[in-house]
Amino acid sequence: MHSSSELIEKLRNLEATIGVIGMGYVGQPLALRFARLGYKVIGFDIDEEKVGLLNSGKSDIEHISDEEIAEANAAGMECTVDIKRTPEADALILCVPTPLNKYREPDLSYVINTTDSFVPYLRAGQVVSLESTTYPGTTEEELLPRVSLSGLTVGEDIFLVYSPEREDPGNASFTTNTIPKVVGGHTSACLEVGKALYGQAIDRIVPVTSTKAAEMTKLLENIHRAVNIGLVNEMKIVADRMGIDIFEVIDAAATKPFGFTPYYPGPGLGGHCIPIDPFYLTWKAREFGLHTRFIELSGEINRAMPEYVVGKLVKALNERRKALMDAKVLVLGIAYKKNVDDMRESPSVEVMELLRDGGAEVAYSDPHVPVFPKMREHKFELASVVLTPESIAGFDAVVLATDHAKFDYDMIRENAQVIIDSRGTYRTPAENVVKA
């Protein structure tokens, strides 16, 4: 029988080979961290183009430099599309997407198809760790039975853990290793292996008693954010109607040294976590006959924000004797949050679609997204507009959707006919600035 102690030893002594499945926004930083420590790393991905790019020392993510990829390759990282090579790895870490389908139900197809693809090649002495955000019970209900098909005993021959990713792209204050890592194992032996897997790479490991508790932890983190953003988005509408600046109010409230955490309103929620993850719990709660009213309410409020922003634009154009139909509108910032190139679930894209549906001529400018990318749900044949006094003056309206640091806000304000500011960037009242 293969015991856990041998695998733990290998992991602790940096002698293990780490397999990262899914080399995206989550998988890449993790693979780089393991490679930097001296582990041999194999990155698996289904995208041949991406694998070729990474193997040639090039990055496809803006905040990860080509040098970092090249250094990792020199240290022994390699990427492949060949899932048959999984037995070479002692650890398999799954970093694949878990989106929602059009009925706002969890789409676990990436997790399940990936697991099905490597199960035939599993061997004794491996640990499988899922990092994708999902509902409590996924590891036990979906991964456990599949991994058990290998004929290996989980907790004795092979080990199963859930450890949710906690990336904050664009936040320079935190790197992969400084963000504490929650780990839950299927058995106590699985947990020990999980702690050894991440122990060298992450400064602080936070063990919990089960994979379900680890899955729920990730959901609580993101639901906490979604609900609080929903709350300030609702407060923003009330404050606006009363002629109060919500950003002034939040800043003032944030001086309270206890019991208040500032959250800021915006044009809706973006990214691959906050708009999606709460609905994993909503879906799973139904099985227990429960309704997650807070989650559903905040989701409703947040989803209504793009329309609120467009409503403000229509009113501003109307006051200038213009219609939305045929108006030339520039959307500033289309990534889901500032200073990154990640477009997933970006509310800016929804704003663009509402404008296009209303007959406006839409353009965008984003220093992080030179060309509008191919997306599963959205299609625009556009490239980023270069901002000059002339180009800005040529638009009937400018919508500030994502407040990238690279924008020259003074120059924009001086030349725009009207700005719809959904981020509270312009604090000083100006004739041509409308808060949204």
Contact 432, 416 (CB under 8 A): yes
Those residues whose C-beta lies under 8 Å from the C-beta of residue 106, and which sit 6 or more positions away, are 98, 100, 134, 135, 279, 280, 283
CA distance 240 to 265: 12
The sign one gets for the Cα dihedral 194, 222, 347, 368 is negative
DSSP tag of 143? I
Length of the chain counted residue by residue:
436
Beta strand spans in 77-164 (E): 77-80, 91-94, 126-130, 158-162
Residue 80, strand partner residues: 44
The catalytic position among 79, 95, 190, 273 is: 273
273 in catalytic set: yes
Instruction: Give the helix/strand (H/E) hosting 362.
Output: strand 361-365
Those residues whose C-beta lies under 8 Å from the C-beta of residue 145, and which sit 6 or more positions away, are none
Q: At what angle do helices 278-287 and 211-241 cross, to 10 degrees?
A: 120
Beta strand spans in 149-193 (E): 158-162, 181-185
Catalytic sites, residue numbers: 273
